RNA sequence: CGGGGUAUGGCGCAGCCUGGUAGCGCAUCUGCUUUGGGAGCAGAGGGUCGUAGGUUCGAAUCCUGCUGCCCCGACCA
């Protein structure tokens, strides 16, 4: 590709509304252009990157035996009503009406459509297992789009759906996707982890997320210092090792006017946060509200809480009126003593002695409180997020926490959709069986952003070679004045193209400094400079994007640099 | 959904407080010079100041409504 026939539009200034580095660089280097909140045009450079990511994904999906198709992005409401998600999905589902006033949505995912196809086309166990995939635009009306294509309202996703007879076959499909995903991210040269994840409201089955590690990641990923345990913090189990000591203080009331948070309480009365008790009221499934009790320095894990049968799904905090009627005080003064609602304590909270908690009276707290003596023993559950240093649930080492960007998710759906939508096949006995499904996603556009988060410097982007918009660039110095440089650059361009290199020939009449700066911002992995001075010795200058110095090589050694 | 901010040429901003002919940098175009790290000089084009009202002799500026966008919060006891 010749730069004069392409479209390169870079800017020195950082757009004011881009917060993270990948967003800033993608805008500055001209990979994306914002159209509206969470809506981006993929400019020619950006589209090249996306196409390379897609190609790798497509190759590995095909190699795994999956079959590509393409489903509509507009989906009739009837299908979603059938699966029950028309009501469940919430405001993220962008709903539209057509001219006949019929309801549709813009697909945020395609389980309903693929299940509809499967139930029509797949009639016999002999056709199974089968794995369909597509690479397509998804639409989610995000509460708050941000970080450019990292969390946008329209994005490209590869989604695959497997159909199996029996759980063993489902597990095999799942394992195969796990392997395929590792190959995909390995080929892209990304630093990633496959972690255990919560399976969401559908529940039960296996679920793995693939996270690219980066400080700007929106998720917390937990891994063990020894062994290969890794999990999303939403999922990571706490193995409590503490045991309860003896009660040594008597319960007393203390005045705490204006104290509403654990931090305020801790500093006001000079007691460590870990000695305070945090009491949260949430909507219950049977009783109107349920109390969740945690050590003051621990954080509630909402996913774990939501999975409790006593707690309403989805998790909802009690409102002011609920709190008033259940605890007879306002938020900030609640405590577990004397409550007549179910009290569920985190395992670590349940081993506390002589703790401080709200008195269920505004402006008062209680100190020296002890389970069993001052209030009934609670139900004990794992309610909190793990913290660094917690023991590995697998028994070896301790846990560390890093930030990750979720770029892939593989997930056993089981019969969640096939059952409600009647997707059955006849088994070898001629009996109808519900198909077992799996679903497997990769956020294509998000991978591009994640790769930049992980690979950049002060000059700009440093693309991993496999997904760079161009593998190499030819930079002629002062080509307008030198026919020799022009001829040599053209010859090199032809040679590289003939060798199958995806090369950009920067034939714009720019000064060298401007050209180099552009190419470094754009992040092309290999640069070849052609100049009169070098040509005199039959030489070319080479510089890898990560290199700090250029090297002069023989003209004949150019191709070797790309191996 | 709650709070805050913001809207001025393609981009980034000043001007607004204290009303009086709309300005700067980048980018763009022309010419000359320059040509190994985002060139210099000279010139040029480009803005219904988000939108609808109001106040005023006069509004980018003051007031009101609306809209877009951005940030924070929506894990808290």
Q: What is the pLDDT of residues A518-541, one digit of tens each?
A: 999 999 999 999 999 999 999 999
Residues 195-234 of A with CB under 7 A from strand B: none
Distance CA A26, CA A17 (A): 13
More confidently predicted of A19 and A367? A367
Query: A83-92, A167-176, A405-414: which range is least confident on average?
Result: A83-92
Q: What is the pLDDT of residues A325-383, one digit of tens each?
A: 888 888 788 899 998 899 999 999 999 999 999 999 888 899 999 999 999 999 999 99
**Is the pLDDT at A12 greater than 70, yes or no?**
yes
Distance CA A410, CA A201 (A): 15
Nucleotide nearest to A13 (CA to C1'): B12
pLDDT > 90: what percent of chain A?
67
Residue nearest to nucleotide B37 (CA to C1'): A513
Residues 257-296 of A with CB under 7 A from strand B: 260-263, 265, 278-282
Burial of A429 (0-12, 13-18, 19+ CB in 10 A): exposed
Distance CA A303, CA A348 (A): 18
According to the model, what pLDDT value does residue A265 have? 86
According to the model, what pLDDT value does residue A432 have? 96
| Helix, strand, coil content of chain A in percent (nearest 5) | 30, 30, 40
According to the model, what pLDDT value does residue A459 have? 94
According to the model, what pLDDT value does residue A201 have? 53
Distance CA A157, CA A73 (A): 12
Q: Phi/psi at A522 (nearest 5 deg)?
A: -70, -30
Q: Is A561 left (phi over 0), alpha (psi -120 to 50) or beta?
A: alpha
What does A230-253 look like in DSSP terms, one character per residue?
Answer: EEETTTPPP----------S--EE
User: Residue A329 CA to B22 C1' — how many Å?
Assistant: 59
Q: Phi/psi at A365 (nearest 5 deg)?
A: -130, 170
More confidently predicted of A285 and A166? A166
3-state DSSP assignment of residue A121: helix
Residues 333-352 of A with CB under 7 A from strand B: 334
**Is the pLDDT at A506 greater than 60, yes or no?**
yes
According to the model, what pLDDT value does residue A111 have? 95
Please calculate the CA angle A238-A242-A248 and round it to the nearest 5 degrees. Answer: 140
Distance CA A299, CA A383 (A): 8
**Cis amide prior to A314 (ω within 30 degrees):** yes
Distance CA A264, CA A525 (A): 52
pLDDT-derived band of residue A145, with 50, 70 and 90 as boundaries? confident
Domains, chain A, ordered by start: 3-236+401-452 (3.30.930.10), 252-381 (3.90.960.10), 470-562 (3.40.50.800)
Q: What is the pLDDT of residues A305-318, one digit of tens each?
A: 888 888 887 788 88
Shortest CA distance to A417 belongs to which of A173, A88, A65, A71?
Answer: A88
Q: How much is the ipTM here? A: 0.90
According to the model, what pLDDT value does residue A266 have? 85
User: Residue A516 CA to B51 C1' — how many Å?
Assistant: 44
Q: What is the pLDDT of residues A375-401, one digit of tens each?
A: 999 999 999 999 888 999 898 999 999
**Is the pLDDT at A206 greater than 60, yes or no?**
yes
Residues A343/A349/A353/A356 CA torsion (nearest 10 deg): -80
Distance CA A73, CA A76 (A): 10
Q: Give, for A144, the enclosing helix (H) or strand (E).
A: none
**Average pLDDT over chain A, rounded to whole?**
91
3-state DSSP assignment of residue A52: helix
Measure the N-to-C terminal CA separation of chain A; round to a whole number of Å. 20
Nucleotide nearest to A278 (CA to C1'): B77
Provide CB contacts within 8 A for A495, sequence distance 6+: A558, A559
Place of tokens 């660039």: A473
Q: List chain B nucleotides near protein: any atom < 7 Å from a Cβ.
A: 1, 11-13, 25-26, 34-39, 68-77
Shortest CA distance to A356 belongs to which of A452, A279, A300?
Answer: A279
Distance CA A163, CA A417 (A): 11
**Is the pLDDT at A100 greater than 80, yes or no?**
yes
Nucleotide nearest to A385 (CA to C1'): B75
pLDDT-derived band of residue A61, with 50, 70 and 90 as boundaries? very high
Sheet-wide strand order for A252-255: A252-255, A364-369, A355-358
According to the model, what pLDDT value does residue A213 have? 93
According to the model, what pLDDT value does residue A202 have? 52
Distance CA A223, CA A232 (A): 9
Question: In the beta sheet, which residues pair with residue A106?
Answer: A74, A94
Distance CA A502, CA A109 (A): 33
According to the model, what pLDDT value does residue A200 have? 59
**Is the pLDDT at A105 greater than 80, yes or no?**
yes
Helices A167-187 and A44-63: crossing angle in degrees, nearest 10, is 140
Distance CA A87, CA A80 (A): 8
Residues 85-114 of A with CB under 7 A from strand B: none
Q: What is the pLDDT of residues A426-458, one digit of tens each?
A: 999 999 999 999 999 999 999 999 999 999 999
Residues 31-70 of A with CB under 7 A from strand B: 36-38
* Side-chain-side CA neighbours of residue A310 (13 Å): 18
The string over A29-50, giving b where at least 16 C-beta atoms fall within 10 Å of a residue's C-beta and e elsewhere, is: bbbbebeeebebebbebbebbb
């Amino acid at each position: 590709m010749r730069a004069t026939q392409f479209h390169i539009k870079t800017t020195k200034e950082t757009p004011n509304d881009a917060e993270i580095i990948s967003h800033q660089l993608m805008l500055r280097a001209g990979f994306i252009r914002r159209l509206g909140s969470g809506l981006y045009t993929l400019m020619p450079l950006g589209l090249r990157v996306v196409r390379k990511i897609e190609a790798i994904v497509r190759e590995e999906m095909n190699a795994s035996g999956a079959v590509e198709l393409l489903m509509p992005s507009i989906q009739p409401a009837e299908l979603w009503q059938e699966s029950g998600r028309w009501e469940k999905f919430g405001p993220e589902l962008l709903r539209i009406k057509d001219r006949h006033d019929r309801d549709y949505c813009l697909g945020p995912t395609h389980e309903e459509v693929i299940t509809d196809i499967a139930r029509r086309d797949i009639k016999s166990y002999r056709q199974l297992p089968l794995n369909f995939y597509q690479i397509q635009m998804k639409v989610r009306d995000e509460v708050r789009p941000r970080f450019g294509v990292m969390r946008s309202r329209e994005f490209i996703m590869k989604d695959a759906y497997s159909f199996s007879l029996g759980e063993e076959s489902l597990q095999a499909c799942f394992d195969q996707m796990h392997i395929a995903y590792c190959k995909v991210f390995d080929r892209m040269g990304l630093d990633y982890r496959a972690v255990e994840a919560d399976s969401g409201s559908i529940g039960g089955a296996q679920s793995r997320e693939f996270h690219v590690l980066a400080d700007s990641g929106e998720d917390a990923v937990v891994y063990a210092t020894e062994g290969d345990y890794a999990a999303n913090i939403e999922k990571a189990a706490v193995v409590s090792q503490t045991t309860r000591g003896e009660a040594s203080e008597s319960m007393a009331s203390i005045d705490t006017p204006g104290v509403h948070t654990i931090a305020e309480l801790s500093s006001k009365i000079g007691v460590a946060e870990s000695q305070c008790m945090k009491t949260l009221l949430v909507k219950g499934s049977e009783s109107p509200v349920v109390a969740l009790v945690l050590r003051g320095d621990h954080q509630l894990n909402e996913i774990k809480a939501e999975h409790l049968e006593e707690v309403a799904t989805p998790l909802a905090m009690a409102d002011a009126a609920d709190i008033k009627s259940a605890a007879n005080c306002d938020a900030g003064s609640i405590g577990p003593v004397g409550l007549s609602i179910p009290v569920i304590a985190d395992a670590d909270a349940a081993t506390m002695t002589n703790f401080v908690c709200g008195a269920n009276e505004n402006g008062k707290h209680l100190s020296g409180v002890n389970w069993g003596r001052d209030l009934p023993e609670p139900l004990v559950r794992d309610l909190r997020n793990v913290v660094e240093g917690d023991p590995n649930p697998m028994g070896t080492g301790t846990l560390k926490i890093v930030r990750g960007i979720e770029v892939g998710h593989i997930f056993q759906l089981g019969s969640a959709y096939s059952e409600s939508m009647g997707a059955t096949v006849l088994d070898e006995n001629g009996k109808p069986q519900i198909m077992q499904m799996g679903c497997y996603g990769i956020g294509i556009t998000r991978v591009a952003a994640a790769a930049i988060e992980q690979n950049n410097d002060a000059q700009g982007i440093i693309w991993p070679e496999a997904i760079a918009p161009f593998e190499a660039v030819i930079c002629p110095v002062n080509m307008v004045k030198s026919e020799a440089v022009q001829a040599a650059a053209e010859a090199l361009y032809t040679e590289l193209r003939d060798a199958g290199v995806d090369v950009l020939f920067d034939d714009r009449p720019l000064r060298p400094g401007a050209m180099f700066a552009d190419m470094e911002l754009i992040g092309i992995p290999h640069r070849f400079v052609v100049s009169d001075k070098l040509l005199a010795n039959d030489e070319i200058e080479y510089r890898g994007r990560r290199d700090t110095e250029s090297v002069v090589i023989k003209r004949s050694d150019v191709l070797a640099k790309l191996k």
